[in-house]
Amino acid sequence: MDFKERIEKAVELIKKAGYITAFTGAGISTESGISDFRSPGGIWDRYRIITYQEFLQSSDARQQYWKMKHELFRELRNAKPNNAHKALALLEAKGILKAVITQNIDGLHQDAGSSRVIELHGTNRKAECVNCSKTWPIEEIDEKLEEVEFEPVCDHCGGYIKPATVSFGQPMPEKEMMEAVQEAQRSDLMFMIGSSLQVEPAASIPRITFEKGGKLIFINRTETPWDHLASVVFRESASRVMDAILEALQF
Ligand SMILES: [Zn+2]
């Protein structure tokens, strides 16, 4: 099917569906200038991955981790939501989209105006004490990093402060995972945008919708192991596809 036919097919699925959700990954944010941490030349080439256990055990690991984040925040400061983020926010405002389930930690769905966002990997917008769970806006901790030699501690209990993201070696947040599974089960249509569906258990979310009889629309630059489950697959950019869908819906 050519692009136009696939857009028509997607629109037909949207019109028939009663409960639509979206599952998003790094690919939806690349057009906002945020590089996928798996892509070469990114920040992850210059820093090694620090696991949650290392963070807890080693002062050096904590400093390395915060230095990486400090550099990353400079890179992210000017990132703005793109048309794909905005399209999902508009679909929610129109009452069509019920929730966004995301693997991203960049907060761009919220910046675009989405209100129901389930963050499976936490968020870079907040910092959290690993001991008492007190949270701060990330800027508050970030601006003091040099002063505290990249090892901020909690003013309440003295515990280590970490960005409120899910690190390697840290389990997925239970509440968010449960909500995501419930949303996936309820969905009769799910957009999957910008995930290569490699990371489990997050990648299982669209499969749950499919197994419950729901339809899937995949928008991703590269192949995924689950493309055969989707009713329509797009390799075009997410903003181009979402713009075309909104236009066809006459929004
Ligand atoms: Zn604390």
Please indicate whether residue 228 is annotated as part of the active site.
no
**How many angstroms is it from 154 CA to the middle of ligand 1?**
5
Which residue has tokens 């806006």? 137
**Domain span(s) for CATH 3.30.1600.10 in the chain:** 43-77+126-165
Each residue's pLDDT tens digit, 109-148:
999 999 999 999 999 999 999 999 999 999 999 999 999 9
Contact of 213 with 18, CB cutoff 8 Å? no
Contact of 91 with 20, CB cutoff 8 Å? yes
Query: Nearest 5°: CA angle at 39, between 165 and 130?
Result: 15
**Domain span(s) for CATH 3.40.50.1220 in the chain:** 3-34+80-121+172-248
Given the residues 85, 109, 121, 228, the one annotated as active site:
121
Distance CA 45, CA 119 (A): 25
**How many angstroms is it from 129 CA to the middle of ligand 1?**
5
CATH hierarchy code of domain 3-34+80-121+172-248: 3.40.50.1220
Which residue has tokens 């129109």? 94
Residue 179 CB burial class (10 angstroms; 0-12, 13-18, ≥19): middle
**How many angstroms is it from 232 CA to the middle of ligand 1?**
47
Let me know if domain 43-77+126-165 sits in CATH 3.40.50.10800.
no
Each residue's pLDDT tens digit, 19-76:
999 999 999 999 998 876 655 666 667 788 899 999 999 999 999 999 999 988 887 8
Question: What number of other Cβ atoms are within 10 A of residue 211's Cβ?
Answer: 12
**How many angstroms is it from 202 CA to the middle of ligand 1?**
29
For strands 135-137 and 122-129, give the pairing: antiparallel
This prediction has a pTM of 0.93
